[in-house]
Amino acid sequence: MPHPDHLIFLHIQKTAGTTLYEIISRQYPQTKTKLFYNPPMALKFGELTPAQRNTYALLTGHQPYGMHQFFTRGTTEYITLLREPVDRTVSHFYHLGSDKTHPFNEEYHREKYSIIRLLESGKILNLNNCMVRLLSGEYDRAYDACDEAMLEKAVQHLDTMALVGLHNQFDIFLLRAAERYHWNAPYYSKRRVSTTRIGTHELDARSRECIEHYNKLDIALYRMMKPRIEAIQKELGDEFYARLSRFQRRNAVVSKFLNVYHSLRRTA
């Protein structure tokens, strides 16, 4: 399969994207890679000249759908991962408190936010239908103002993507991507995994109801897409799953060395 001239990894927050980025970043030269930390930063990509934009082989990070329009030549493909929305929201909430580099971290601790109070405050767009916002391309829609038209757009855009995977079936997505794009040694250890968050089964009824209210379109999107993705994965065949098993055995060994490496880097 021909490699696209431009690959766009649309990284939805808290969907194992940091882990995937570390794998992808080893496959492309830094000079041909553009990493976006937030959608406003991504949209500034359009301020470059067409000639400058066309030199990039990989766009990755928190960017809305539509970045392909900045390329004026060559082929472009999108890939992304989805996550069960209640679980994604809980993970994101605890990330705000654990990541000391996040601009909201100080306020999070000063105000001692509960997940309900933070959701009701409207301060963090990513806690309100984050997947639909990014996938529809209308990331900056006002808080709690996402609508069915955005959901429809998100589904249409997902249907055009080369690969869509599920967070809890990360290895299947990874191996499919590695084989499609000829990635070398796509081994990894899990990054940015919270050790302090509660599980979704530990949520009280009111907190779950609040999360579901502010993420009802993401929930609808996930319920629609999950069976489609799993149906595609079921058709991958025995040979693929044999390769997957071999990859997972090798990765279990390699990840131990990667954990040591990352630990040494943190203490250096």
If you search the block for the tokens 């969907």, which residue do you land on? 15
Nearest Cα neighbor of 76 from 107, 61, 54, 51 is: 54
Alpha-carbon distance of 201 to 196, in angstroms, equals: 15
Look-up: residue for tokens 């499609």?
180
Interatomic CA distance for residues 146 and 139, integer angstroms: 9
Output the CA–CA distances (angstroms, integers) from residue 196 to 18, 185, 192, 206, in the order listed: 18, 31, 12, 21
> What is d(CA 44, CA 29) in angstroms, rounded to the nearest whole number?
21
How far lies 49's CA from each of 45, 56, 108, in Å?
Answer: 9, 12, 39
pLDDT of residue 259: 72
Q: What CA–CA distance (Å, rounded) separates 154 from 143?
A: 17
**Per-domain residue ranges of the chain:** 6-83+138-196+223-267
The owner of tokens 């705000």 is 96
pLDDT given at position 190? 79
198-206 contacts, C-beta under 8 A, 24 or more apart: 198/90, 198/94, 199/90, 200/84, 200/86, 200/87, 200/90, 203/86, 203/90, 206/116
Q: Determine the straight-line distance between the first and last CA of the chain, rounded to whole angstroms.
A: 42
pTM for the structure as a whole = 0.93
Q: How far is CA 103 from CA 97, 100, 107, 124, in A?
A: 10, 8, 8, 11
Asked if residue 63 lies in contact with residue 10, where contact means CB atoms within 8 angstroms, the answer is yes
Identify the sign of the CA torsion 146, 148, 151, 153.
negative
Burial grade of 204 (CB within 10 A; 0-12, 13-18, 19 or more): exposed
Cβ neighbours around 238 below 10 Å, total: 7
pLDDT, one tens digit for every residue, the chain (268 residues): 678 999 999 999 999 999 999 999 999 999 999 999 999 999 999 999 999 999 999 999 999 999 999 999 999 999 999 999 999 999 999 999 999 999 999 999 999 999 999 999 999 999 999 999 999 999 999 999 999 999 999 999 999 999 999 999 999 999 999 999 999 999 999 765 555 778 999 999 999 999 999 999 999 999 999 999 999 999 999 999 999 999 999 999 999 888 766 565 556 5
The residues, ordered by sequence, that sit 6+ positions from 192 with a Cβ below 8 Å of its Cβ are 18, 19, 95
